Structure 1
Amino acid sequence: MRKLPLAVALATLLLGTAVHAADKKDKDKPDDKPDAAMLKPQSSETSGTVKVEGKSIDYKAVAGTLVLHGSGDKENEPQVSMFYAAYFKKGVEPGKRPITFVYNGGPGSATVWLHMGAFGPKRVVTSDDAHTPAAPYGLVNNDYSLLDATDLVFIDAPGAGFSRLLADDADKGKRDEQMKDRKKTVYSVDGDGHAFAQFITQFLSQYNRWNSPKYLFGESYGTTRSAVVANILENENSVDLNGVILLSQILNFDSSIDGPANNPGVDLPYVVGLPTFAATAYYHHKLPQQPAALEPFLHEVEQYALTDYASALMAGSRLDDARKQAVAQKLHQYTGLPVAYLLKANLRVDGGMFEHELQADGDLTTGRLDSRFSGPSIDPLSKSSDYDPQSSAISSAYVAAFNDYVRRQLKFGENQTYRLFADIDHWDFSHKAPGATESLQQSTNVMPDLATAMKTNPNLRVSLNGGYYDLATPYFAADYEMHHMPIPANLEKNISYAWYPSGHMVYAHEDSLKKLHDNVANFISETDNVSKH
């Protein structure tokens, strides 16, 4: 995947899902002329019960679509049909029940991963750090569903899952132009953000939830989206949120450990990626001296990364040979990579290089989304990894389980294709930050959006969660972003942090899923304001 140009790599980077699946995404031709039914909201209502940590919860499930329209002279044009699966606890007054809007990333990914792996009432069973055997897959009661704390709305991004871009003109040529226009508008940082914000406000009206405590839960690129959506809701729609929950965060794409060599002069990715390299080498016992415990070791690596390592990289060609040798020796102690390799790499090893080299002595590639996973190297002579072992290990289980579940239990999707990814030819990463006069063309950075939302709603709370073994969005990069947010010091207390011994999909590790559930449930309980009324 890292052999792609950087813009393309970023567009398939942040899935909370399978990277290699981007190459296998559905190539179904977008609907030239959708069925008349697709131009109107659809829904299927069912009921169920889930037992969460020993307590039974009866719920109503609604699987359906909402149709988004354009603005201005296009306000009567249906543009996007967005699919959702919503779960409402029975017997609770809506105004006193929190509601959380949940989505994966991509950009352009369906939300099958959080739905079936984390917080829905059913959970697919996968192996912890090895390849899950082929079907039949296990689907069990989810002991860690968030339905004990909040109603849930899982949303598929436009063009993904059962969501579709709409073009309804009778003339085929005009339909084609409509579809091009939809793609250009929606498949972008800002267009995607406005689509999700519009969906949320429509949903609040559809289900009479305007007075409910409201939360966003995004994973991976979904955290990028959450920053944008939070600002739109707060400052364009006057919708104050109670909280924003971020999982496997990336807000500033200059911090990405994928492809930093394409952005020379910006060494931040190597600095913030080092602790995850160290955690991974620790897990696979590749360090010259194995530390007694992970977290104290990581604190040491973090301190070195921010000081001596960052200083050495900033020196560039001014770095003398003796100091360069000393840094390489230290990196060897922290990553297990050979000193000679580190020197040849000029002390700069990106994610793909590390994944390929860490276990090269066994011709194994290390996982990217979850570096606890390993798999046979496709090409032992490659510079970088050619696939992600974790993606290969679990994707089939999620896809099969959801396709069966949505049709059998939610009674939705007959004669429709569930697309893991939208058919995106180009994603526009330019972004007009709050206060900017035009869209900025540098790497996407939505830290100003979340900061603006926090400043205009100083009660807004943010919960940051991440995995130590995530090489797609390293945990220390997220930590770095949060400690560089342009907010006043008194708002820093509104941000909480939680790290887990898992990967990008924290919930793929069951013990971490339990801790994630408990942390998020407590966060909602502390911020829902229900007890104050």
Structure 2
Amino acid sequence: MNGQRLTVVAALERYPAQGRSGRPLGSVYLTSLTAHSGDSRRPVIFAFNGGPGSSSAYLNLGMLGLRRVQVSGPEARGPTGTIVDNHDTPLDVADIVLIDPIGTGFSRLASRGAAGEAYSAVGDAAYIAGVIRQWLKRHHREAAPAFLAGESYGAQRVASILRVLSCNGERHCTPLAVEGAILISQSIEIVNTLQRPGNVTGIAAGFPTIAALAWYHRKVDRHDRSVDGVVADALAFSSIYLSALYRENSLSVDERSAIVGQLAAFSGLAPAFFQKHLSITKDEYRNEAFRPTGQVLGTYDARYLGPVNGAGDPSTNALDTVIAAKLSRVLNEGVGVPASYSYRVYNDALDGRWTYAPVATPFSKYDYAGEFAAALRINPALKVLVAGGLYDTAASVGADAFLLNQWSVPATQTLSVHYPAGHMFYLDDASRVDFARAIRCFVGSRSIAVCRAAAQSRGIPPGIGSLPSQGQQDLAQ
């Protein structure tokens, strides 16, 4: 791993999951990967996927586990599904614990009556925080630096778990200071990720993704520009776009014409598309970009194309099948799990049953970013690594920029990297190698500046609130 030989102990472990009142909620299974080093202060990364109905299979087989599934790119027909040794796992710098929340993997409810608490943002965070404490105690690792890594909804889990581990003022609770948070294709600012109708901030935040897709699919003339340059310009334009959306019905003819011209230039769509409304969401673009040929772009990786009336998502249909088919083999060979055991890679039923706020009402705040900000106030030394894919429409580089610009996190504690791939960008070989390098530095170095300088990756441009580049200033004028 990373040029080193390492002896690793792989184990499937079971932990009781308890509710906030101490009642049993179920059993949580996790995959524990620990180096046979005897170092009780060796860092530990606790990782989970999102959904909220996803197991940790994607991070396990895609990035962090001992074995990984080798997939082909969007130009091919689908993933090859070959299982290979994963030389990119950051196990050389940290032990890794892959957690399957209740209802996923082998983890199960204790009873039907426990579902309400287990399948909620509050209950989920509470019992997973408890499992993390149990693992540290069982392995005598209470003094080890702890890191949380969450993908997609898993990033929201990170925010909520940080709050629980900090004790949040609770009596008879010992705070656990997490050293770093790794947010992968995050959805903490979910209101901006989803782009709800009328949410002009979300529409502006999503536009750089549209610009990246227009570049990738050659809907615009590239003029020898890289995708990074296009995204940087689109991020700068987003602040202008946001102002225009806010004032849409009071714009002068000249102002509106200038905005329409820029929207068309970035997106590759005809100016006529924007004559009635200036807004365009990522989903609208996925359906509009190749409408003449009867094709739609994938959600999780919009480099992929599929038929308009096709089932599922063009970017994940083949991948989901491969992951489900290969994981049982990996668990059987790696930790001795009988192949007949039923592992739930993804539990679709949880998506509709999940309670995302303490009280299930439209008036709830759903303030995951606020939870993270509160954790930062309690633990101001917390380091944050934000990573995403430029062609991901389930999350977006613009939402990441917006989030980072809203947090009062010093630049000395924040590292952001974005890759020319989709939601699971680490399935791309070059992106995975680079992201592994970023994780190693993030976990092992005391200086984020060193990581930023050393990483061979695409750092996020200044962001949605930054000054436009000179070219964009000229266009705006």
TM-score interval for Structure 1 and Structure 2 normalised by the shorter chain: 0.7 to 0.9
> Following the alignment from structure 1 to structure 2, what is the Cα–Cα distance between the partners of residues 113 and 343?
42
Structure 1 residue 291, shift from structure 2 partner: 4.7
Structure 1 residue 513, shift from structure 2 partner: 0.2
Structure 1 residue 96, shift from structure 2 partner: 2.3
Structure 1 residue 132, shift from structure 2 partner: 5.5
Of the three residues 261, 265, 270, the one matched with 2:203 is: 270
* Amino acid paired to 2:181: V
> Following the alignment from structure 2 to structure 1, what is the Cα–Cα distance between the partners of residues 13 and 129?
17
Of the three residues 39, 44, 47, the one matched with 1:102 is: 47
Structure 1 residue 194, shift from structure 2 partner: 0.9
Structure 1 residue 320, shift from structure 2 partner: 4.2
Preserved contact between residue 253 and residue 443 of structure 1 (Cα < 8 Å): no
Do the aligned partners of residues 134 and 468 (structure 1) sit closer, same or farther apart at CA in structure 2, a change above 3 Å counting?
A: closer
Establish whether residue 468 from structure 1 lines up as the match of residue 405 from structure 2. Answer: no
Establish whether residue 519 from structure 1 lines up as the match of residue 438 from structure 2. Answer: yes
Aligned ranges 1:155-234 → 2 under 5 Å: 155-167=99-111, 179=112, 181-234=113-166
> Following the alignment from structure 1 to structure 2, what is the Cα–Cα distance between the partners of residues 257 and 70?
30
Structure 1 residue 80, shift from structure 2 partner: 1.5
Hey, what does 2:261 align to over in structure 1?
329
Hey, what does 2:233 align to over in structure 1?
300
Of the three residues 426, 429, 454, the one matched with 1:507 is: 426
Of the three residues 250, 254, 261, the one matched with 2:187 is: 250
Of the three residues 270, 282, 285, the one matched with 2:218 is: 285
Structure 1 residue 289, shift from structure 2 partner: 5.2
Hey, what does 1:46 align to over in structure 2?
none
Hey, what does 2:285 align to over in structure 1?
354
* Amino acid paired to 1:276: T
Do the aligned partners of residues 413 and 80 (structure 1) sit closer, same or farther apart at CA in structure 2, a change above 3 Å counting?
A: farther
Structure 2's unaligned 5+ residue stretches are 169-173, 448-477
Structure 1 residue 527, shift from structure 2 partner: 4.3
CA offset digits 1:148-205 (Å, max 9, x no partner): 11100001121011111112xxxxxxxxxxx1x3221121221111121111111111
> Following the alignment from structure 1 to structure 2, what is the Cα–Cα distance between the partners of residues 328 and 393?
38
> Following the alignment from structure 1 to structure 2, what is the Cα–Cα distance between the partners of residues 227 and 439?
20
Establish whether residue 123 from structure 1 lines up as the match of residue 68 from structure 2. Answer: yes
SS of corresponding position for 2:166? helix
> Following the alignment from structure 1 to structure 2, what is the Cα–Cα distance between the partners of residues 522 and 134?
30
* Amino acid paired to 1:162: F
Do the aligned partners of residues 132 and 198 (structure 1) sit closer, same or farther apart at CA in structure 2, a change above 3 Å counting?
A: farther
Establish whether residue 367 from structure 1 lines up as the match of residue 298 from structure 2. Answer: yes
Preserved contact between residue 430 and residue 440 of structure 1 (Cα < 8 Å): no
Structure 1's unaligned 5+ residue stretches are 1-51, 168-178, 380-385, 433-437, 529-533
Structure 1 residue 145, shift from structure 2 partner: 0.8
Do the aligned partners of residues 321 and 195 (structure 1) sit closer, same or farther apart at CA in structure 2, a change above 3 Å counting?
A: farther
* Amino acid paired to 2:427: A
Establish whether residue 70 from structure 1 lines up as the match of residue 19 from structure 2. Answer: yes
Preserved contact between residue 207 and residue 281 of structure 2 (Cα < 8 Å): no
> Following the alignment from structure 2 to structure 1, what is the Cα–Cα distance between the partners of residues 269 and 390?
19
Structure 1 residue 328, shift from structure 2 partner: 2.0
* Amino acid paired to 1:427: W
* Amino acid paired to 1:294: V
> Following the alignment from structure 1 to structure 2, what is the Cα–Cα distance between the partners of residues 441 and 193?
21
Preserved contact between residue 244 and residue 251 of structure 2 (Cα < 8 Å): yes
Structure 1 residue 456, shift from structure 2 partner: 1.3
Preserved contact between residue 260 and residue 275 of structure 2 (Cα < 8 Å): yes
Hey, what does 1:426 align to over in structure 2?
353
> Following the alignment from structure 2 to structure 1, what is the Cα–Cα distance between the partners of residues 123 and 12?
24
Structure 1 residue 267, shift from structure 2 partner: 0.6
Structure 1 residue 421, shift from structure 2 partner: 2.7
Do the aligned partners of residues 247 and 394 (structure 1) sit closer, same or farther apart at CA in structure 2, a change above 3 Å counting?
A: same
Establish whether residue 148 from structure 1 lines up as the match of residue 92 from structure 2. Answer: yes
> Following the alignment from structure 1 to structure 2, what is the Cα–Cα distance between the partners of residues 404 and 131?
25
Hey, what does 1:85 align to over in structure 2?
31
* Amino acid paired to 2:335: L
> Following the alignment from structure 1 to structure 2, what is the Cα–Cα distance between the partners of residues 318 and 342?
16
* Amino acid paired to 2:3: G
* Amino acid paired to 1:412: V
Structure 1 residue 445, shift from structure 2 partner: 2.3
SS of corresponding position for 1:216? strand
> Following the alignment from structure 2 to structure 1, what is the Cα–Cα distance between the partners of residues 145 and 386?
19
Hey, what does 2:457 align to over in structure 1?
none
Do the aligned partners of residues 282 and 393 (structure 1) sit closer, same or farther apart at CA in structure 2, a change above 3 Å counting?
A: farther
Identity over the aligned pairs, expressed in percent?
25
SS of corresponding position for 2:101? coil
* Amino acid paired to 1:109: S
SS of corresponding position for 1:56? coil
Hey, what does 2:378 align to over in structure 1?
456
> Following the alignment from structure 1 to structure 2, what is the Cα–Cα distance between the partners of residues 201 and 323?
56
CA offset digits 1:384-436 (Å, max 9, x no partner): xx74211113221111111221123321255432112333242112248xxxx
* Amino acid paired to 2:313: D
Of the three residues 314, 318, 322, the one matched with 1:389 is: 314
Hey, what does 2:472 align to over in structure 1?
none
Preserved contact between residue 64 and residue 412 of structure 1 (Cα < 8 Å): no
> Following the alignment from structure 1 to structure 2, what is the Cα–Cα distance between the partners of residues 85 and 121?
11
Preserved contact between residue 126 and residue 132 of structure 1 (Cα < 8 Å): no
> Following the alignment from structure 1 to structure 2, what is the Cα–Cα distance between the partners of residues 478 and 466?
8
Preserved contact between residue 295 and residue 307 of structure 2 (Cα < 8 Å): yes
TM-score (norm 1): 0.78
Do the aligned partners of residues 204 and 122 (structure 1) sit closer, same or farther apart at CA in structure 2, a change above 3 Å counting?
A: same
Do the aligned partners of residues 211 and 364 (structure 1) sit closer, same or farther apart at CA in structure 2, a change above 3 Å counting?
A: same
> Following the alignment from structure 1 to structure 2, what is the Cα–Cα distance between the partners of residues 400 and 443?
39
Do the aligned partners of residues 288 and 324 (structure 1) sit closer, same or farther apart at CA in structure 2, a change above 3 Å counting?
A: farther
Kindly report the root-mean-square deviation, in angstroms, between the aligned alpha carbons of the 2 structures. 2.2
SS of corresponding position for 1:375? strand
Preserved contact between residue 282 and residue 290 of structure 1 (Cα < 8 Å): no
> Following the alignment from structure 1 to structure 2, what is the Cα–Cα distance between the partners of residues 109 and 341?
37
> Following the alignment from structure 1 to structure 2, what is the Cα–Cα distance between the partners of residues 506 and 276?
14
Do the aligned partners of residues 289 and 463 (structure 1) sit closer, same or farther apart at CA in structure 2, a change above 3 Å counting?
A: closer
Structure 1 residue 78, shift from structure 2 partner: 2.6
Structure 1 residue 276, shift from structure 2 partner: 0.6
* Amino acid paired to 1:417: S
TM-score (norm 2): 0.87
CA offset digits 1:269-302 (Å, max 9, x no partner): 1101110100111011111554522222222111
> Following the alignment from structure 2 to structure 1, what is the Cα–Cα distance between the partners of residues 362 and 148?
25
Preserved contact between residue 160 and residue 419 of structure 1 (Cα < 8 Å): yes
Preserved contact between residue 149 and residue 158 of structure 2 (Cα < 8 Å): yes
The answer to which of 110-119 and 284-293 deviates more is 284-293
